[in-house]
Structure 1
Amino acid sequence: MAIFVSALQQGDYFIYICIFCGLLSVLIMGGNLLVIISIVYFKQLHTPTNYLMLSLAVADLLVGIFTLPFTIILFVTSYSSVQGILCKVRSGLDLILCVTSIWNLCFISVDRYYAVCQPLRYRSEITGRVIGMMILASWTVATAIGGTLTFQSPDIGQSSTMCVLFQNKMLKSLLLGTLFGFCIPAIIMSAIYIKILLVAQRQACKILNMSKSGTTVSRSERKATKTLAIVMGVFMICWVPFFITISFHAVSNYSTPPSVVHSFKMLGWTNSMFNPCVYAFFYRHFRLTFGMVIKGKIFKNDFSNMRL
């Protein structure tokens, strides 16, 4: 009887996971498609900075197209040979796309640093070539990490009916992957956004002393603080629990229950849903283009040269 109840509970867990992954996949694809269509269609958005956002949106879109559907298939399939292949493919794609997304976020923070802290050097330093190198670096680093961890795994398969990528004897590779896939970009992002916030506050104080417009400056400071808090807060909330758990999972002789690892991993996937909101919805021209795309206006007339 206890075994039967346990099986029912596990079945309910799989159902909830499949429903969650399905809804998350749709939301990720919808939000990032809006970003991609807007940047590709409207010529005014063809800027080096927006190409970084385009790269981020493509990586996040592919998470919704491949990673989450493969996860659902792994939960519902009963063929072990299929599970093994899908597990390896899903795990490799998951690593590549998620790490690419993280590094794109890191390079966006670099772009924002030059825009706010070095405005006179921004156009000369952040050129199309530099942006292209950033995008190439994001995908190259992610592919190297994903490929190394995927193909070094000697026996990727099912553990407690869950697809587990990180196996025993992979501690060094896993910790290196965590370092280059999350820790370094997270530290860079944190340092840059703290610097941006300090510079913005210092500039606001100068404006206050010159114009005495206390109300305006106070509102500007609050908006800058709120935006930066959301940027870093969403990123940290989504990814820190997973990388802490997976690191502890490795050093504790893989004692963490797979369900816990997967739960925090799904929390990390939600970052691909929030990215379009955090990095696009704050900009008025993106809100305008999203509305036009959703209403289908771009399919009725040519608005590609429209001033946003």
Structure 2
Amino acid sequence: MQSLSAACAVHPDIGAVFTCERCGAFGCEDCRGASSSTFCQACVQRVAPAGSLSAGVLLQDSFSLLGRNLSGVGLLLGFNLLAAYLGSFIQNPEANALLVNLFFGCLSSLSMAAFLSWTADGLLQQTGRSLLSSLQHGLFRFFPLLLMSVIFGVVVATGMLFLIVPGIYLALCMSLAPSLVVLEGLGPFQSLHHSYRLTQGHRWTLLAVFGVMVLLHAGVMLLGRFYLTLLPELGLSPWMWTGLLLTGQAFSSALFYGTVVLAWMRITGRVPVST
């Protein structure tokens, strides 16, 4: 076994012979996982078997993925800037509200589909992964994703009318649908139904995880509104402010949909190679 030019993270007096594909730590032979030769012992213990889900592990992996997936954040940011740029050319949006909403809905679905494809292929280390292939996959799946999002919104909004709780419950039940549409190629109704089945037994965990995500997103929006009041004093141009706000939204969306991908992988047994 060839030794790496680094010491083991746990036993610094011993040279490392492998790098954990999950956490990136150097390890000696004694630190190699028994059930996975490419994982360290700590990561082998943390990788849950197919069908299991832990709120703590999922949150930790989601934040870790965000730091490793800055290219995905950039992809979302690019689409956000494009939408803002195109929106500046629209005259009298109220007169064509339906067409405008449809256009930006398609653009949002395309960005989400491309991000989900890019992120999943990176976690699973798919060969042939490229930005172009993710965009092509997004073009192929964005319309089913848009239809699913519309149905999702109608169902959740209807549930919210009944004292809010049913709407939250339905949102949790259907939370994996984006991954099922884009990554498994299911149709809008089929993905929602399959998500309902997959989330059985995991909804309290998903409630805790997505609850944290919603609170973080709300914090970003409140912070943005706070800085908006300081815009004249800061001397920032409107475009500079827009760029900062869209960057925050890109990070928030990347964190949320990265979590959706990881939850789908955990529940279906597609344990990522690295998070």
TM-score tier after normalising by the smaller chain length = under 0.3
Judging by fraction of residues, say which structure has more helix.
1
What TM-score does the superposition give when structure 2 sets the normalisation length?
0.27
What TM-score does the superposition give when structure 1 sets the normalisation length?
0.25
